[in-house]
Amino acid sequence: MEYETPLFFHVMAYAAEADHDVVDMVSGNPDWEPPEALRDGLREYADFDADRFQYPPSEGIRPLREEIAERRGVDASQVVITNGAGEANYLAMARALERGAGSEIVLTDPVYSYYPGKTTMLGGTAHYVSAGADGHLDPSVVRAATSDDTAAIVVNTPNNPTGAVYPEETVSELVEVAEANDAILVSDEVYDHYDLSGTFTSALSVDSDHRIVTNAFSKTLAITGFRVGYAIFPSHLVEDAKSRHMLVNVAGSRPAQYAVLRALQETDPAYHEANRELLRERVDLFTDALDGAGADYVRPDGAFYVLARFDDYPGTLSNVERLIDEAGVAGMPGSAFGESCEPWLRFALVTPRVEEAADRLAEYFT
Amino acid sequence: MEYETPLFFHVMAYAAEADHDVVDMVSGNPDWEPPEALRDGLREYADFDADRFQYPPSEGIRPLREEIAERRGVDASQVVITNGAGEANYLAMARALERGAGSEIVLTDPVYSYYPGKTTMLGGTAHYVSAGADGHLDPSVVRAATSDDTAAIVVNTPNNPTGAVYPEETVSELVEVAEANDAILVSDEVYDHYDLSGTFTSALSVDSDHRIVTNAFSKTLAITGFRVGYAIFPSHLVEDAKSRHMLVNVAGSRPAQYAVLRALQETDPAYHEANRELLRERVDLFTDALDGAGADYVRPDGAFYVLARFDDYPGTLSNVERLIDEAGVAGMPGSAFGESCEPWLRFALVTPRVEEAADRLAEYFT
């Protein structure tokens, strides 16, 4: 097989096997509570008549699609409920490649680790454009890298791993570049509820037949294990995407879809604001301690992660394992996110022990 | 797009839009109760700590994999929990094609409608072998159709739509044919708990590196909407299958996996025997009425379906729609299951109104 398995699971397993205390900052699993209405939704579902335990419509239960369509200002027919953002991105990239309008996928470096594997699996070729460790993508660099052979440009904003949030001009220029090359902009916006900067712009804000927006409730509602995501397609691409969804998965899991629906209907915006506030505090705590350790870091504008760099300690897998063994802190090797990230380590702020972890790092490196 | 969308959803929508009473015998949604322990599992899950709402292991929660491995007599490392049998078959067929040992998929005619679409989507070529409307596959016919270019032979036992249950000799000979051609036998056994003949043999009973067994709890536990299935791979194929699973879906839905685990742990064999007894009664009721209507039919040895043929009424989509409109009975066009099924209609015995439906058919056709 020519596609790479993401390193996440390897590092998580290594950290779990340690016989000493390790602060887990590896994966993007929120450690805060899901909304109470989500739990209520599961309880209610458990008592439903058995006919509601059977196949939902392949594209997802209708009230959930309608709720999403209304929130996102699109027609419900454009919405496909997927098995998390993982499947949403898979469907979007497959659709872009199957159009017969190119075989190249433009990805950023740093990159979210799953995109390269999906590209290869789908028979595409990855072409990287540099965004730097701060993740600030220059659309003119993307323009220069894009050609007739470009099938898709895949971006993630707010960005994992850099924490960058693309400004409105970047988003609209990326759509324009996609249009100019008959390519598809795939905008993965799973961290949209964790924009700490107030500047997040969805690619949906630009009306175009050349963009697909993917998202999920995994981070939004702190339920990465429920696997409820969605993709919003332009009308001319949605039917074929639904066919692939049906042929791969038939449909997503219905109890999870129903619980998400209840959570959307009943959760106050304050829930999301409180989560952002928690993240802001953790960013402060963690970066203060990194300052103390003399580390270089990128202060995130959104998402859950801090990229940090320590002198003479590149972000290799073996250095990550050494940090688990000797400092009791587990992060992700920067190398998992592309060449430009090789000097860096990524720490996920999804533990109440952020300060303790930072102190351990400070002690280890000073 | 070159792969066909199954007709199920079209026919179901047509039947649902009728403004008169229609007995729905279209899809394979059980109308009997799931085990009570399944509901208990969902209720229990709803109260779990939030960390159990996060990513399960990509290949599925460990106790469920272990429970399946023990029941099936395999090592847990060979088991991948999938988003229903749909994904299990997709992973199995993808793995067979990616081995570089052929690009042809041998399918039976009649065929379960999703297999041809998956074949085309994955870049394979379908090659059909005739099984006849009674579904009795002659392994020597499969042997003659198989060559160096065969990547996989995909079969379904108990069979949808014919109701055939392959005898032990057929199963072992199919494995042998796969081995002789360096191909993979994919044996989809989702109806294994609905063997009405007592003769069902799993492909797992033949030890081989050349067979993948797929299954799901959709039918077994009457929960087609939960999307919990699994595939059992030979050790040398499992890692790459897990990679694809991770790249497409990341993981399956965790609340559904937990509910299935509880149901497996606590459900008595009597639950399954009662469901089989219900099906046996419905087969009798329906076929008696078909006898009365002078129809030709295939008495199923397993699964949920009866193929029936009425004089001068081939199983086209338009005839199915006419039957919905004029007789108030919705079935599936035989043409959805391959050329040999074109004269036939498929009726799913998943309604308490089986006798009423049969009476309507008798009245309409006599």
- Asked if the bond preceding B57 is cis, omega within 30° of 0, the reply is no
Predicted pLDDT of residue A4: 52
CB-CB neighbors (< 8 A) of B6 in chain A: 246
Q: What does the pLDDT average to over A37-63?
A: 97
Region A50-70: mean pLDDT is 96
Asked which of B233, B266, B299 is the last residue of a domain, the reply is B266
Structure tokens at B324: 């919905």
Distances (CA, A) of A2 to A62, A98, B240, B243: 38, 20, 9, 10
Contact yes or no for B83 and A253 at CB 8 A: yes
The interface predicted TM-score (ipTM) is 0.96
Q: Which of B84, B227, B247 sits opposite A118 (nearest CB)?
A: B247
Q: Is there a single domain that holds both residue B134 and residue B181?
A: yes
Q: What pLDDT shows up at residue B293?
A: 86
In a domain, A3, yes or no: no
Check which CATH number belongs to the domain holding B345 and give it: 3.90.1150.10
Query: How many CB atoms are located within 10 Å of the residue A291 CB?
Result: 12
- Distances in whole angstroms, Cα of residue A131 to Cα of each of A84, A158, B63, B194: 26, 13, 42, 56
Residue in the structure block whose two tokens are 């300690």: A313
| Helices and strands, number each (H, E), in chain B | 13, 13
What is the identity of the amino acid at B296?
Answer: D
Q: Is B5 in contact with A90 (Cβ distance < 8 A)?
A: no
B48 lies in some domain = no
Tell me phi and psi for residue B212, to 5 degrees. Answer: -120, 130
Q: Please tell me whether residues B114 and B151 are part of one structural domain.
A: yes
Give yes or no: residues B89 and B226 share one domain.
Answer: yes
- Domain boundary, last residue among A246, A266, A286: A266
Range of the domain at B12: 8-34+269-365
Residue range A132-144, pLDDT digits in tens: 888 999 999 999 9
Q: Residues B23, B70: one domain?
A: no
Confidence class of residue B27 from pLDDT cuts 50, 70 and 90? confident
**Domain CATH number, residue A59:** 3.40.640.10
Task: Say yes or no: A359 and A216 in one domain.
Answer: no
Q: Single out the residue in A266, A290, A319 at which a domain terminates.
A: A266
Residue that is written with structure tokens 């850099």 in the block: A162
Mean pLDDT of A274-284: 97
- Chain B neighbours among A 92-111 (CB < 8 Å)? 98
Do A330 and A194 have their domain in common?
Answer: no
B324 and B239 belong to one structural domain: no
The answer to whether position A2 is within a domain reads: no
What are B233-282's pLDDT values in tens digits? 999 999 999 999 999 999 999 999 999 999 999 999 999 999 999 999 99
Q: Which of A9, A30, A31 sits opposite B58 (nearest CB)?
A: A9
Q: Does residue B8 have a pLDDT over 90?
A: no
| Burial class for A259, CB neighbours closer than 10 Å (0-12, 13-18, 19+) | buried
Res A231 pLDDT > 90:
yes
Question: Does residue B44 sit within a domain?
Answer: no
Which amino acid would we find at residue A81?
I
Whether the CB of A65 is below 8 Å from some CB of chain B: the reply is no
In a domain, A1, yes or no: no
The answer as to whether A95 is a domain residue is: yes
Beta carbons of A50 and B58 less than 8 Å apart: no
Task: Write out chain B residues lying below 8 Å of A250, CB-based.
Answer: 83-84, 86-87, 114, 227
Question: A77 and A185 in one domain?
Answer: yes
Gap from A352 CA to chain B (nearest CA, Å) = 13
pLDDT band at A6 (very low <50, low <70, confident <90, very high): low
pLDDT for res A64:
98
Q: Considering chain A, what is the average pLDDT of its residues?
A: 95
Cα Dmax for chain B: 62
For an interface test with B, the pick among A51, A253, A304, A353 (most B C-beta atoms closer than 10 Å) comes out as A253
The alpha carbon of residue B235 is apart from the nearest alpha carbon of chain A, in Å, by: 15
Which strand (E) or helix (H) includes residue A57? none
User: How many percent of chain A have pLDDT more than 90?
Assistant: 89
For residues A101 and A220, membership in a common domain is answered with yes
Are B262 and B164 found together in one domain? yes
pLDDT over 90 at A8, yes or no: no
Q: Domain count of chain B? A: 2
Let me know if residue B39 belongs to a domain: no
Q: What is the pLDDT of residues A174-196, one digit of tens each?
A: 999 999 999 999 999 999 999 99
Residues 246-275 of A with CB under 8 A from B: 246-256, 259
A276 and A299 co-located in one domain:
yes
Let me know whether B63 and B206 are in one domain. Answer: yes
Residue B232 counted as domain residue: yes
SS3 label, residue B65: helix
